[in-house]
Structure 1
Amino acid sequence: MKIALLSYSTKPRGGVVHTLALAEALAAAGQDVTVWTLGRGGDAGFFRPVDPAVRLRIVPFPDGPPEESVGERILRSIAVLGTAFEPCAMAYDVVHAQDCISANAVGGRCVRTVHHIDHFTTPELAACHERAIVEPYAHICVSAAVATELADGWGIKAAVIPNGVAYDRFATTEPAARANWRARLGRYVLTVGGIEPRKGSLDLLEAYALLRSAHPEVRLVIAGGETLFDYRDYRAHWKARAAELGVEPVVLGQVAEDELPPLVAAASAFAFPSVKEGFGLAAMEALAAGVPLVVRDLPVLREVFDSAARFATTHQDLAAELGAALTDDTPARRARGRRLAARHTWATAAERHLAFYGSRLKDISRS
């Protein structure tokens, strides 16, 4: 089967991580897979090496003028990716878009994975999001909770195929690499995903201020944060609030791919207070590393993590649960987390995708 997987970036956001891992698993299963994406800011490759069995088509996407709005950048992204892909579209048996930009770029003529459902106020983004849901001919969700949202909001039935996780990368890190992070950072609570509204960054900041009263030696460390959107105002508010609270989290930004697993594994706890998620891949990686996990109490995260995580609703809850994770976490809970993570393999995800593609191709041939 000849498959095109479409994404919007080369950076380590969850959807891009998913796209590459799925592409490699599909290629390992004998499929002819090409990943298409935009190379922003001069990028000619992804944030990590990709198995050479996967073909890569990285479409140059130069920076726009300084006054370009987010909405304008989204529309330009759609146009640039669509123009590059259109001459090749008929060469593929399956075109599978992983986000609203790439789904719009192919005019909805695709399978679409809906990782989570957003609610935009910018007109261009809202329209992009809506078209990317209603126009594709088939849909996949990475959790039943998101599939239910899709059914309730749009009457669309989606297949549920959970993410895999690179279990061995996070479960078997080098002791020296973990020790290096601990020597640099001390004892720390880690979150991955940067500083933005969807990641619940302000709530985590408030929780950290409370946590320090009982655990003054613990630092809050924030990794990642590459995004298409402009969160400068939110981040400025976050920095101002940190100063008011008298706390100084460590903001690492994007971490090199080979340094991320030991950074996760060396953490004393992992915080995942997102207000909107489709699965929680970074949190599952923390479980693979044997790190105590505290997540926002959302239906989707209850579904995915169940008894392997601690759950919090408010920032006060988050502080309390992080405190418990730092002092009372048990080997049994960590073992449950590792077993859960080990069950989520990309090979299984690829197998289920291939079955889904095959069923949809049969439906199309009969219609």
Structure 2
Amino acid sequence: MRIGVDGRVLVDRYHGIGRVTFELLSILVDDPQLEFVIFVDPGEPAHRFDVSSLRRPNVRFVDFPVPLPSPVQFARWPLVLRREPVDLMLFPYQLGACPVGGPRQLTIVHDCLFEQNQTYAPTHRVAALHRRLTGLLLRRAAVVVPSRATAADVERFYGVRVPADHVVEWGVSPRFAAAPTDPTARPPVTGPYLLHVGARRPHKRVPFLVRVLARLDPSMQLALVGSADDRWPDHTMKVAAELGVADRVHDLSEVTDTELLTLYRHAHAFAYPSVTEGFGLPLLEAMAAGAPVVASDVPVFREIGADAAEFAPLRDAGRWAAAIERVGDPAHRARLVERGAALAREATWTRAAGQLGALLRGVPAGGDT
């Protein structure tokens, strides 16, 4: 079976989607019964993932120099797929998919973020394209979602039910739970700190986390891993200056994988104040690494975090501060860490790739779900 993959997400600007695609492909390409054609855009910076590690005798890379989500791609996909015919196309991001013609399709819908609030999209044009394209794809392609919360949102916004076996929960790499290679390594932050991992985009509400920090003991620091996104204004440091805590906020946007692990392991808590996510990979990474988690009390985090996290109301900074302080209780902290580690052990990429592989083989002609 020959599977085409839109690999244009394996670039620096697609953090979560790129990570999911890379981890799944790293396992799927080892299936000798599957042949892969991975379409990539050679003009995009691609240093985040070791794409060359995906090379196998059953894997070919084909240049597709059309940026995502340019409307040009809708005319170019049929042309390139005539030159490189495949049995099925896997689109890891629906904004890259081809809404008409072509082979069978399996498309991943990670979330309905833009449907919930258009200001979370970089432009109104992207929001409109996202809504229209997602609606078309849900009626012609088989769809995978990473959580029951996203499945519920797809039904709420589009009236389409996602079958239970098309909910494929993502995994966490074993390296997050592995023993540290250097037990003496220490984070680049002095004193207790909260850790946030993720690009600073509006729905992640990093400025809110600064407001929470201002309510905590002055010794508490905030470590931010993940850069600002220049498509939106970033008010994080402005809010920090207004509240007099700028010296307690540490921008660690460029860290290595080893440094990230050290940050997770030594954090007072991993704090995740997002309005919503499709899944929330950093939540599982933190649990695997042994960090207690404090997250927004929203459906997707309740689903993924279960009883292994502290949850706080979206807009109540006082209750967030109280939840973070509770994590300081040694017995409570130990319970959260133990439950989080157990949950993370069950969330493997091998399991996710096995489920996705079964769906790839079973997508019916015409892509109907």
TM-score (norm: length of structure 1): 0.83
Read off the aligned partner of 1:246 and give its amino acid letter: G
Q: CA RMSD in A?
A: 2.9
Note closer, same or farther for the CA distance 1:184–1:108 as it changes in structure 2 (3 Å cut): farther
Cross-structure match for 1:51: 54
* Number of positions where the alignment pairs a residue of Structure 1 with one of Structure 2: 344
Pairwise CA distance, 1:353: 1.1
- Aligned-partner residue type, residue 325 of structure 1: V
Aligned partner letter, 1:241: V
Task: For residues 157-183 of structure 1, give each alpha carbon's deviation from its aligned partner in whole angstroms, at most 9, with x where no partner exists.
Answer: 2221110111x2111142636x43336
Letter in 2 for 1:315: A
Q: Does 1:79 align with 2:72?
A: yes
The alpha-carbon deviation at position 184 of structure 1 amounts to 4.7
- Once the two structures are TM-superposed, the CA of residue 87 in structure 1 deviates from its matched residue by 1.4
For 1:138, the aligned partner's letter is: A
Pair 245,262 (structure 1): closer, same or farther in 2 beyond 3 Å: same
Taking the TM superposition and a 5 Å limit, the aligned residue runs for 1:199-348 are: 199-211=204-216, 214=217, 216-225=218-227, 227=229, 230-231=231-232, 233=233, 235=234, 237-248=235-246, 249-313=249-313, 314-328=316-330, 329-348=332-351
When residues 273 and 34 of structure 1 are mapped into structure 2, their CA distance, relative to the original with a 3 A threshold, is: farther
Q: Distance in 2 between matches of 1:353 and 1:117?
A: 20
Q: How far did 1:222 drift?
A: 0.5
Q: Which of 153, 157, 162 in structure 2 is aligned with 1:153?
A: 157
The 5 A counterparts of 1:136-215 are: 136=137, 137-158=141-162, 159-166=166-173, 168-174=174-180, 176=182, 179-182=184-187, 184-211=189-216, 214=217
Q: How far, CA to CA, are the matches of 1:81 and 1:325 in structure 2?
A: 50
Aligned-partner Cα distance in 1 for 2:199–2:46: 23
In structure 1, stretches of 5+ residues that fail to align are: 62-72
Task: Find the aligned partners of 2:321 and 2:64 in 1 and give their Cα distance.
Answer: 44
Higher mean alpha-carbon deviation, 30-39 vs 185-194, is at 30-39
- Secondary structure (helix, strand or coil) at the match of 2:187 reads helix
Question: 1:65 corresponds to which residue?
Answer: none
Q: Give, as a single letter, the amino acid of the residue that structure 1 aligns with 2:361.
A: G
Distance 2:367 2:194 in 1: 52
| Mean CA deviation greater in 2-11 or 342-351 | 2-11
Name the structure with the higher helix share.
Answer: 1
Q: Quick check: 1:132 aligned with 2:136?
A: no
Q: Residues 60, 184 of structure 1: CA spacing in aligned structure 2 closer, same or farther, 3 A cutoff?
A: farther
Match of 1:13 among 15, 18, 35: 15
Report the CA distance shift for 1:191/1:44 in structure 2 as closer, same or farther (over 3 A): closer
Q: In the aligned structure 2, how far is the partner of 1:220 from the partner of 1:275?
A: 19
Report the secondary structure of 2:160's partner residue.
coil
Q: CA deviation at 1:317?
A: 1.8
Please state how far the C-alpha of 1:224 moved relative to its aligned partner: 1.5
Comparing 317-326 and 14-23, the one that deviates more:
317-326
Give the secondary structure class of the aligned counterpart of 1:282.
helix
Matched with 2:24 is: 22
Deviates more, 1:143-152 or 1:91-100: 91-100
What are the Cα deviations for residues 42-71 of structure 1, in whole angstroms up to 9, with x where unaligned?
52554345333355456557xxxxxxxxxx
CA distance in 1 between counterparts of 2:279 and 2:69 reads 27
Q: C-alpha displacement at 1:366, in angstroms?
A: 10
Distance 1:250 1:60, change over 3 A: farther
Q: Per-residue displacement from partner, 1:245-281 (whole Å, max 9, x unpaired)?
A: 1112101113223432232223221011111201111
1:117 aligns with 2:112: yes
Partner of 1:96: 90
SS at match of 1:132: helix
**Which residue of structure 1 aligns with residue 359 of structure 2?**
356
Cα distance in structure 2, aligned partners of 1:225 and 1:325: 27
Equivalent residue letter for 2:288:
A
Give, in angstroms, the shift of residue 104 of structure 1. Answer: 5.0
CA distance in structure 2 between the partners assigned to 1:35 and 1:319 by the alignment: 46
Superposed displacement of residue 288, structure 1: 0.5
Q: For each residue in 1:109-133, what CA deviation from the matched residue of structure 2 results, as whole angstroms up to 9, or x when unmatched?
A: 6321111112225442122212331
Q: Please tell me whether the aligned partners of residues 39 and 45 of structure 1 are also in contact (alpha carbons under 8 angstroms).
A: no
State the distance in 2 between where 1:114 and 1:92 align.
21
Q: Report the secondary structure of 1:202's partner residue.
A: helix
Question: Which residue identity is paired with 2:111?
Answer: H
- 1:34, 1:57 within 8 Å by CA — same for their partners in 2? yes
The answer as to whether partners of 2:310 and 2:323 remain within 8 angstroms in 1 is: yes
Asked if the contact 1:202/1:238 (under 8 Å) is kept, the reply is yes
Q: Provide the secondary structure at the position in 1 that maps to 2:256.
A: coil
Residue ranges of structure 2 left out of the alignment (5+ in a row): none
Higher mean C-alpha displacement, 101-110 vs 216-225: 101-110
8 Å CA contact 1:38, 1:81 repeated in 2 = no
